[in-house]
């Protein structure tokens, strides 16, 4: 099988998660990804304590998740000539992937204009908290701040009147990374059609905005803040969470519930609800949402998850149980779709999370572990035209730390 991005070279100058996750997916698709790191390696290499003692992991699973299969070159951008090394590497690149803020791009002579002046055909992909322009372009942003909080997502999550809820780690990073891959590939296609390099400018904030675009579209029309979801008084009792008698939770998911309403009534033994004309429409059920939710919950609490699952499936209702991660990683549906793949590292062979897509007949897979910091520096520089004397001169100037 052929890798979709075979022959594509990516130069990645990025740290933390969002941009490196995009580079990791491009590598899974077959691109060569050369990661430029500061001497000693980027900050995420030290986030997960590794070892065999308490509180440690056998390997840095977080860094490997985002950087698997990449080659590593160490360059000190603050050393004399450091940015010039990046430019030399970019001369043979198809994609330049970075999360440097605009002020740092200007400082190192790596703005889109400066990069395109030397390689007019490269696709410049910038992933930042707030974008390359606008009043907050130089404001640092992580997924917790720019994606989760500043986009408005946090204001919509949690029980009405309750405190704000913090997202899980890297939700916004990975969402933004996937969006960046899609935009980068579109820009690469446009480059191939026109011969001109492109600039992809993607922000955590705007990606977060798009994930709640349905709510935002409503606010654009009526100017109001959508209300938080209240499971004790839902507008639609068929779109809600309910506990079972053996300590589990299930989620009913029916956005247009009218055809399913009589089926749920049979599951909970309330044929009187099905016959009640006030409950025959969505509007009527909305008026009595608290009563219906309480009745459904009472009926579900009389069931085990297994017995309830049999009834829900028999009636063709759309639902899912809440499952914890040890169950998720053992899920036969995910296992059957190769959602987890083996990663061979110096510390041993472990599983990691695969790319969230497959292309039939194409070679899309995890392609080995991340290189050690700077492990590929000499090979990459020589391939870029540097002689051994050039490399010795760079070392003497402290380029490699």
Cβ–Cβ under 8 Å, residues 143 and 171: yes
Which CATH number covers residue 48? 3.40.50.10540
124, β-bridge pairs: 96, 199
The token pair at 26 is: 């491009």
Q: What is the mean pLDDT of residues 270-279?
A: 96
Q: What's the CA gap between 179 and 356, in Å, rounded?
A: 12
Out of 288, 316, 344, a domain closes at 316
Residue 21 lies inside a defined structural domain of this protein: yes
Secondary-structure percent of the chain, ordered helix, strand, coil, rounded to 5: 40, 15, 45
Cβ–Cβ under 8 Å, residues 397 and 79: yes
Q: What is the mean pLDDT of residues 191-201?
A: 97
C-alpha distance from residue 61 to each of 169, 171, 329 (Å): 14, 16, 15
Q: What is the pLDDT of residue 82?
A: 97
Q: What is the pLDDT of residue 401?
A: 85
pLDDT over threshold 80, residue 237: yes
Share of the chain above pLDDT 90, in %: 95
Residue 230 lies inside a defined structural domain of this protein: no
Q: What's the CA gap between 14 and 4, in Å, rounded?
A: 23
Same domain, 31 and 159: yes
Same domain, 309 and 340: no
Cβ–Cβ under 8 Å, residues 96 and 184: no
Same domain, 258 and 357: no
Same domain, 152 and 40: yes
399, β-bridge pairs: none
Q: Kindly tell me the sign of the dihedral angle through the C-alpha atoms of 107, 99, 374, 88.
A: negative
Q: Structurally, how many domains does the chain consist of?
A: 2
Residue 136 lies inside a defined structural domain of this protein: yes
Burial of 291 (0-12, 13-18, 19+ CB in 10 A): middle
Cβ–Cβ under 8 Å, residues 270 and 300: no
Residue 221 lies inside a defined structural domain of this protein: no
Share of the chain above pLDDT 70, in %: 100
How high does pLDDT run on average in the chain? 96
Cβ–Cβ under 8 Å, residues 7 and 340: no
Same domain, 158 and 202: yes
Lowest-pLDDT range of 28-37, 228-237, 251-260: 251-260
The token pair at 269 is: 């033994």
Q: What is the mean pLDDT of residues 252-274?
A: 92
Q: What's the CA gap between 393 and 289, in Å, rounded?
A: 74
Residue 85 lies inside a defined structural domain of this protein: yes
Name the residue range of residue 266's domain.
239-316
Residue 121 lies inside a defined structural domain of this protein: yes
Q: What is the mean pLDDT of residues 123-129?
A: 98
Same domain, 271 and 346: no
Q: What's the CA gap between 271 and 248, in Å, rounded?
A: 25
Same domain, 209 and 112: yes
Q: What's the CA gap between 365 and 338, in Å, rounded?
A: 10
Residue 228 lies inside a defined structural domain of this protein: no
Please tell me whether residue 28 adopts helix, strand or coil conformation.
helix
Residue 375 lies inside a defined structural domain of this protein: yes
pLDDT over threshold 90, residue 254: no
Out of 316, 347, 364, a domain closes at 316
Same domain, 117 and 199: yes
Q: What is the pLDDT of residue 259?
A: 87
Q: What's the CA gap between 214 and 210, in Å, rounded?
A: 8
Q: What is the pLDDT of residue 55?
A: 83
User: Is residue 127 left, alpha or beta, with left meaning phi > 0 and alpha meaning psi from -120 to 50?
Assistant: beta
The token pair at 231 is: 């499971």
Same domain, 15 and 138: yes
User: Is residue 90 left, alpha or beta, with left meaning phi > 0 and alpha meaning psi from -120 to 50?
Assistant: alpha
Residue 28, C-beta contacts closer than 8 angstroms, at least 6 positions apart = 68, 69, 354, 355, 364, 365, 366, 367
If we measure between CA atoms, which residue out of 171, 317, 301, 346 comes closest to residue 239? 317
Strands 340-345 and 249-253: what pairing?
unpaired
Q: What's the CA gap between 135 and 360, in Å, rounded?
A: 44
If you compute the radius of gyration of the chain from its CA atoms, what whole number of angstroms results? 26
Out of 316, 343, 378, a domain closes at 316
C-alpha distance from residue 26 to each of 121, 124, 139, 282, 365 (Å): 18, 14, 27, 45, 10
pLDDT over threshold 80, residue 257: no
Q: What is the mean pLDDT of residues 375-381?
A: 97
Q: Kindly tell me the sign of the dihedral angle through the C-alpha atoms of 86, 91, 92, 98.
A: positive
pLDDT tens sequence across 46-98? 998 888 888 889 999 999 999 999 999 999 999 999 999 999 999 999 999 99
pLDDT tens sequence across 304-341? 999 999 999 999 999 999 999 999 999 999 999 999 99
Same domain, 193 and 244: no
Same domain, 80 and 160: yes
- DSSP secondary structure of 67-111: HTT-EEEE--TTSTTHHHHHHHHHTT-SEEEE---HHHHHHTT-S
Which CATH number covers residue 248? 3.30.1540.10
Same domain, 365 and 308: no
Q: What's the CA gap between 131 and 299, in Å, rounded?
A: 50
Cβ–Cβ under 8 Å, residues 44 and 152: no
Q: What is the pLDDT of residue 53?
A: 86
């Amino acid at each position: 099988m052929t890798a979709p991005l075979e022959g594509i070279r990516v130069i990645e100058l990025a740290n933390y998660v969002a941009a490196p996750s995009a580079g990791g997916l491009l590598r899974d698709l077959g691109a060569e990804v050369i990661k430029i790191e500061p001497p000693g390696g980027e900050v995420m290499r030290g986030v997960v304590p590794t070892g065999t003692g308490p509180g440690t992991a056998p390997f840095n699973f977080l860094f490997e998740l985002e950087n698997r299969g990449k080659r590593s070159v160490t360059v000190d951008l603050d050393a004399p000539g450091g940015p010039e090394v990046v430019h030399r590497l970019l001369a043979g690149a198809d994609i330049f992937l970075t999360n440097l803020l605009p002020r740092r791009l200007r400082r190192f002579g790596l703005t889109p204009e400066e990069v395109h002046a030397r390689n007019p055909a490269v696709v410049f992909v910038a992933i930042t908290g707030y974008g390359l322009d606008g009043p907050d372009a130089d404001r640092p942003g992580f997924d917790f701040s720019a994606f989760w909080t500043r986009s408005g997502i946090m204001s919509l999550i949690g029980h009405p009147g309750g405190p704000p809820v913090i997202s899980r780690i890297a939700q916004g990073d990975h969402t933004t990374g996937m969006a960046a891959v899609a935009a980068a590939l579109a820009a690469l296609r446009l480059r191939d059609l026109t011969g001109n390099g492109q600039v992809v400018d993607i922000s955590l904030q705007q990606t977060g905005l798009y994930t709640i675009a349905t709510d935002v579209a409503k606010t654009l029309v009526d100017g109001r803040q959508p209300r938080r979801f209240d499971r004790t008084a839902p507008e639609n009792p068929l779109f809600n969470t309910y506990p079972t008698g053996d300590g589990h939770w299930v989620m009913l998911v029916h956005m247009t519930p009218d055809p399913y309403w009589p089926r749920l009534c049979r599951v909970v033994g309330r044929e009187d609800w099905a016959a009640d004309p006030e409950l025959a429409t969505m509007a009527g059920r909305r008026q009595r949402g608290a009563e219906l939710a309480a009745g459904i919950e009472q009926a579900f609490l009389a069931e085990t998850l297994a017995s309830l699952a049999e009834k829900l499936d028999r009636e063709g209702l759309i639902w899912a149980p809440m499952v914890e991660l040890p169950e998720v990683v053992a899920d036969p549906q995910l296992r059957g779709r190769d959602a987890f793949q083996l990663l061979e590292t110096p510390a041993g062979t472990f599983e990691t999370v695969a790319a969230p897509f497959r292309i039939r007949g194409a070679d899309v897979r995890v392609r080995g572990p991340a290189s050690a910091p700077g492990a590929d520096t000499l090979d990459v520089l020589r391939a870029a035209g540097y002689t051994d004397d050039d490399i010795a001169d760079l070392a003497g100037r402290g380029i490699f730390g």
